[in-house]
Amino acid sequence: MPLTLDARGGGFSVVLLRPEIPHNTGAIGRLCVGLGVPLHLVRPLGFALDDRSVARAGLDYWPHLDLSVHDTWEDYLAAARPKRVFFLSTRGEKPLYGCRFERGDALAFGNESSGLPPGFYSRYGEALFKIPMPGEHARSINLANAVSIAAYECHRQLFFSGPGSPVAGGGRNLPTCANAKYLV
């Protein structure tokens, strides 16, 4: 069960705790612009926000990003007031695909070298999830890729499944791969 707080807003948001690599954060910012979701950064940051690497990875999307920077986790919670927070980590035991996302949720990720702050694993254990990595030699997935996987799963659940979905029948009436014609 994810951490539950007061609900506010629609869609979902992405939170990076103590990000270290500017081009990952730039790419994640670009992803957030594409999905129309806010990005929250929780200090300390391993780079300056005006770093050329952030701008290079974010391209011309960066000025359109709904970006908030918070000094502490508590400052983030007070300012953003997410409905629920899902923490993604290689230490999670429950798969991301078991989550049922709702409007107002937040997806939180730790930094590239050490993950979430140490106390978070025990404090938020019930809200800790992982991205399955069936490869026998996989330790982790690049942070920008992990955010992409989780963000698009959340987006899919919120906007492309169930009643009222823009996809007829919540996606149930889409053609299957067996019905597709392939050129060989």
Could you tell me which residues come within 8 angstroms of residue 94 by beta carbon, excluding any fewer than 6 positions away?
Answer: 128, 129, 130
**In the prediction, which pLDDT does 45 show?**
95
> Which 8-state DSSP code applies to residue 44?
P
Q: 154: alpha, beta or left, given left = phi > 0 and alpha = psi -120 to 50?
A: alpha
Give the predicted TM-score (pTM) of the model. 0.84
For residue 123, which phi and psi values (nearest 5 degrees)? -65, -40
**In the prediction, which pLDDT does 52 show?**
74
Fold annotation for 3-179: Alpha/beta knot (3.40.1280)
Pick the closest to residue 35 from 149, 184, 170 (CA basis): 149
Residue 14: how many CB atoms within 10 A of its CB?
22
Domain ranges of the chain: 3-179
Quick one: 134 exposed, middle or buried, by C-beta within 10 A (0-12, 13-18, 19+)?
exposed
Task: Return d(Cα 149, Cα 71) in angstroms, integer.
Answer: 27
Q: Residue 178 in 3-state DSSP?
A: helix
Residue range 151-181, pLDDT digits in tens: 999 999 998 876 655 554 444 444 444 444 4
Cα of 68 vs its chain's centroid, Å: 15
CB 57 within 8 A of CB 30: yes
Q: Residues of the chain whose pLDDT is less than 70?
A: 1-10, 51, 57-58, 162-184
